[in-house]
Structure 1
Amino acid sequence: MVSEAFRGEFYQKVDSKARVSIPAAFRRILEVEDPATEDNARPRVYMVYGGKSRNFVECYSRAGADALAAKIEAMELGSPARDRAERDLISRSVMIEVEPDGRIVLPAKVRAKMGFAPEDSGGEAAFAGFTNRFKLYRREVYDAENDAEDDDDVDPLTLVGRAMRAG
């Protein structure tokens, strides 16, 4: 159960060592959903970089990652759908501890998924809240995706209304 939703859009510089600061609002949720213990003094973020058609990295708190894993475990063992979900959402993921200053180092596979070339000496990341998770994009990709989607003339509240009637 998510204690608070990841909300908002934030842009953060990625330095030449692939370090980026997680927005404070997101860090607070990560801290609440992964409290410090003797074994883990710092909150963690679980970064999913699988899925060929995805141009972003999906990030979960510990509680969110556990909830996702539970949903996958409820799928039929050995089914193609479960095998794909396990491969793209569990195997192709990494857990990163948040440094005391709020930064993380983006692993090579995460940088590649976001479109940062190994020789890139920085750039900008976009953090986008999605209730129980946040997505991490290269800023140019996020801006282009939003520009394309904002032209559909659909009021988003009507989509929520449709979902409520269907459920």
Structure 2
Amino acid sequence: MSEAFRGEYYQKVDGKARVLIPAPFRRVLDAGDSHTPESPRTRMVIVYGGKHRAFCECYSFAEAEKLAAQVAALPPGSKARLRAERDLITLSATTEIDDDGRIVLPPKVRDKLGLTPDMLKDGIEAALAGATNRFTLWRKDVYEDEFLGGDEDEDDDIDPLALLGQAAPGA
């Protein structure tokens, strides 16, 4: 992985379900896509699977291909592979970033985030949160409640740098 998705951004979702991808995220997405005459715009993959998730995960095209390879490496027909195929491959959408740096949220993504036509009409914000090789996409109010607020984590007193020692060597 060359460059990571970092930071958090709040962006308005307009009445046509378009959201601006922040410039730092667009640079990472652009670097992770091979442009061709047939596909000149930067592509990204939005994974909306996972029954208990209130967010979507967004990958550069290259990172989505790596994810697909990890799924394909699972034993064919195994419960783990079937679930991974469903939640990470089937329940995903490839979209392109337009010339203004926006994407149109596909209907299934809007459903996953709980974005209703009235919300889009009245104006709603999305939260885009960096997560190394991907970023997560949330409805802003849900992000603030679940990701930023939520219940007190029992590990709140642990220095996050101490967690890095738990990673496998070379990971």
Q: TM-score range by the shorter chain?
A: over 0.9
Partner of 1:148: 150
Q: Which amino acid aligns with 2:30?
A: E
Name the count of aligned residue pairs: 165
Question: Post-superposition shift, 1:3?
Answer: 1.8
* Whole-angstrom distance in 2 between the partners of 1:81 and 1:164: 22
Give the TM-score taking structure 1 as reference length. 0.93
Q: Which amino acid aligns with 1:14?
A: V
Question: Post-superposition shift, 1:149?
Answer: 6.0
* Whole-angstrom distance in 2 between the partners of 1:95 and 1:150: 35
Question: Post-superposition shift, 1:11?
Answer: 0.6
Secondary structure of residue in 2 paired with 1:71: helix
Partner of 2:92: 93
* Whole-angstrom distance in 2 between the partners of 1:99 and 1:124: 19
Structure 2 gap segments, 5+ residues each: none
Partner of 1:114: 113
Secondary structure of residue in 2 paired with 1:54: coil
Partner of 1:160: 164
Give the TM-score taking structure 2 as reference length. 0.91
Secondary structure of residue in 2 paired with 1:119: helix
Partner of 1:104: 103
Seq. identity, %? 57
Q: Which amino acid aligns with 1:129?
A: G
Secondary structure of residue in 2 paired with 1:12: strand
Q: Which amino acid aligns with 2:150?
A: A
The 10-residue stretch of structure 1 (65-74 or 109-118) with the greater mean CA deviation from structure 2: 109-118
Question: Post-superposition shift, 1:164?
Answer: 5.0
